[in-house]
Structure 1
Amino acid sequence: MEVADAKQLKEFEAENTKPKPKPKQMLAEQMMVVATLKEMLGKNF
């Protein structure tokens, strides 16, 4: 294993240990984004 491979492996391991957002949380965040964009563009929808 080369140094670059070891670094990449460490990055993947660090990424996999991060807590993942739950589907309901992701949906709520996206709904907030959509509502904010609609408000910013005016309620012409």
Structure 2
Amino acid sequence: MAILKQAEADSTIPDLCREHGMSSASFYKWRAKFGGMDASMMTRMKELEDENKRLKKMYIEAQMQANIIKEAMSEILLNISVSRDGLMGY
């Protein structure tokens, strides 16, 4: 945020990038993403990004559980089918 404010206050972008050890491409990405935001908006965006990460993790865990249950049910049904076939033969 401070770097973007410095750029607005007559500092040249190549000088800013050199001073902060970043590429001009990174600066322009930041400006595209954060330009025009104030601190509260950036804080809110960070909160939403964190919430999104948490929800994605929850979804992945739920999918893994569903896959485990599906595999276990398939194995159980296969075992039931095999045992029925074995009983029919006697």
TM-score (norm 1): 0.47
TM-score (norm 2): 0.24
* Structure of greater Rg: 2
Structure whose residues are more often helix by fraction: 2
